[in-house]
Amino acid sequence: MKPLRVFHMSPAGNRWNQQAMAQSFSLANVVPQNRENNQRLWSRIETAVRKIAMSYDDTYVVTGPIFSGQQLQTIGPTRVFVPTQLFKAVYVPSRQLAFAVVVENVSTSRYEIRTIHELEAASGIRFPGIPENLKDQRPGGLKGV
């Protein structure tokens, strides 16, 4: 497996001032991620989602890890669990749009667009603020990725 490093879930570059940027370095905002994934595909996904957020004032994005399988990898002496996948859930109420982007935590050039219901099932996380009638949407992809 390629080297893992700890990377931001919510990018420092999305912060609105220096204090907010400094707060993005909290351990609550990082997970072990494949370095090549972070620098290539994940970076392009972040850019595409940032463009969506800048286009609509009411965009909500939740980023997080998914841990699946019986044998999870750990790193370090404290055995920190390594996510098997990473996700971004995107909700734009004014456009009646909700979807998830899911990426394997490996060096890859592939991502999946999933419905919010599929993300809820895979992650165990519920997104109660998104109307149920939008949770089965699956747009074709992200521009620029």
Give the chain's length.
Answer: 145
Give CA–CA dist 133/40, Å, rounded: 33
Rounded-to-integer distance, Cα 130 and Cα 98, Å:
7
* Set 1, 3, 7, 8: catalytic member: 8
* Residue 139 · residue 97 · CB < 8 Å: yes
Residue 8 annotated as catalytic: yes
In eight-state DSSP terms, residue 38 is I
* Active-site residue set: 8
